[in-house]
Amino acid sequence: MANPTKPDWEALAARPDFAALLAAKRRFIIPATIFFLFYYMALPVLIGYFPELMKRPLVGKVNGAYLFAFSQFLMTFIVAALYMRRARQWDAMEHALLSSIENSQSKS
């Protein structure tokens, strides 16, 4: 389990392909996090300060408050699915990165 030689983490972290992996993750994770937090917090803010607006029935008896809450479930499913899809690309980058490290280690 333990690495026989201690890897040079500074050198590893400085690799351009690691930087590319981090950048790829950030490109998705940061905007996605900002989006879901805003979409989610909009619910209690609208409910708290615009209750009359949210009480208005939209579909039959069902009001905006319930529909917006229900949309949060769909939003969660969609963001999670997008993340899972994107993560497959990161896995491929990670795999290439790790096997290139392994190759250079076995040569030296």
Partner 1 sequence: MMLLSAIQFTPALGMFLAFVALTLVITWLSARKAKGSAAYFAAGRSIKGWQNGLAVAGDYMSAASFLGISGMIAFKGYDGFMYSVGFLVAYLTVLLLVAEPLRNAGKYTMADLLAYRMSPRPVRAMASLSTLMVSTIYMIAQMVGAGGIIKELIHIEFAPAVIGVGVLMLVYVVFGGMLATTWVQIIKAVLLMGGAFALSWLVLGKHDYSLTKFFTAVGHADYAGTAPPKNLLDPGMKYGASVNPWGPLDFISLALGLVLGTAGLPHILVRFYTVPDAKTARVSVAWAIGVIGVFYILTTFFGFGAATVLPKPDIMIGAKENTNMVAPILAKALGGELFFAFISAVAFATILAVVAGLTMSASTSFAHDFYSNVMKHGKDTAPETEVKVARITAFFVGAVSIGIAIKMGPTANAAFLVGLAFAVAASANLPVILFSIFWKRFNTAGAVGGLATGLASAVILILLSPNGIFGKEGALFPLENPGIVSIPLGFLGAYLGTIFSPRDPNAEAKFAELNFRAQTGLGAEKASSGH
Give contact residues for partner 1 (rule: CB under 8 A): 1, 3, 7, 9-10, 12-14, 18, 21-22, 25, 29, 32-33, 36-37, 40-41, 43-45, 47-49, 51, 54-55, 60-63, 65-66, 69-70, 72-73, 75-77, 79-81, 83-84, 87, 91, 94, 97-98, 101
Kindly tell me which of 54 and 107 has the beta carbon lying closer to partner 1: 54
Kindly tell me which of 1 and 107 has the beta carbon lying closer to partner 1: 1
Integer angstrom CA distances of residue 57 from 25, 63, 80, 86? 41, 4, 30, 37
Tell me if 24 sits within 8 A of 90, measured CB to CB: yes
Kindly tell me which of 41 and 103 has the beta carbon lying closer to partner 1: 41
Kindly tell me which of 56 and 107 has the beta carbon lying closer to partner 1: 56
Least separation in angstroms between CB 92 and partner 1: 12
Tell me if 89 sits within 8 A of 100, measured CB to CB: no
User: Any idea what DSSP says for residue 94?
Assistant: H
DSSP reduced 3-state for 3: coil
Helix axes 64-107, 16-49, angle to 10 degrees: 170
Least separation in angstroms between CB 36 and partner 1: 5
